[in-house]
Amino acid sequence: MLRAFSVVLIIAAATATARPVYAQTSGATGAQRRGHVFVSNGAKLKRLGGARSMLHFGFGMEWLGARGLGLGFEAGPRFVDYDFTRLDDIMLSVDVSYHPRSKSNPMKLDPFLDGGFSLGWEPVSDGQQTSFFSLGGGATYWWNPRRGIRFELRDAVTLDEPQTGYHYLGFRVGYTWLMGQK
């Protein structure tokens, strides 16, 4: 609990002092389109005890408005115990995000908070669908005006019955790029 509070506190401090990101050109006020790919090392934590290691790959896109509010989607498979023959499900997500900005002094670090709704689908004949809501935050480090590396901590919580529900807690690392700006 203390670790989670510390992470939230660090993200809040970074958000309060944020400036525009390196990927933003001066004078640009329109929406941005961003793409990203990621890998996540995580754990499936059952509410009534037990845990499994998970590996999640994915890709996504995000449309980011001039005030820092964004809308995006992601998709990708999750594997149990890092075994590529043990597909757990395919996650499809729709997320909203907030990237705090200001007009002065561009910088290379872009902190963000995000959350949304996800659907996990098991691709087998009697496969079930699991609904999730997720919350997370992280930062993108832009090493040039169009390319960066993204770090994120995200928790996806099932909306199922308490007996069968679980958390999927994952740390993501990914590559992101600026696709365009109006």
Please enumerate in sequence order all residues whose Cβ is within 8 A of that of 97, keeping only pairs 6 or more positions apart, or say none: 62, 64, 69, 70, 71, 72, 112, 113, 114, 115
The whole domain housing 158 covers 2-181
- Per the structure, the count of domains in the chain is 1
Whether residue 86 has pLDDT greater than 50: yes
Residue 147: give its domain's CATH number.
2.40.160.20
| 134-147 residue pLDDT tens | 999 999 999 888 99
| 93-152 residue pLDDT tens | 999 999 987 454 456 889 999 999 999 887 766 667 888 999 999 999 998 889 999 999
**pLDDT for the residue numbered 44:** 86
**pLDDT for the residue numbered 138:** 95
Whether residue 154 has pLDDT greater than 90: yes
For 77, the token pair is 């498979």
- pTM for the model stands at 0.76
Average pLDDT over residues 154-172: 83
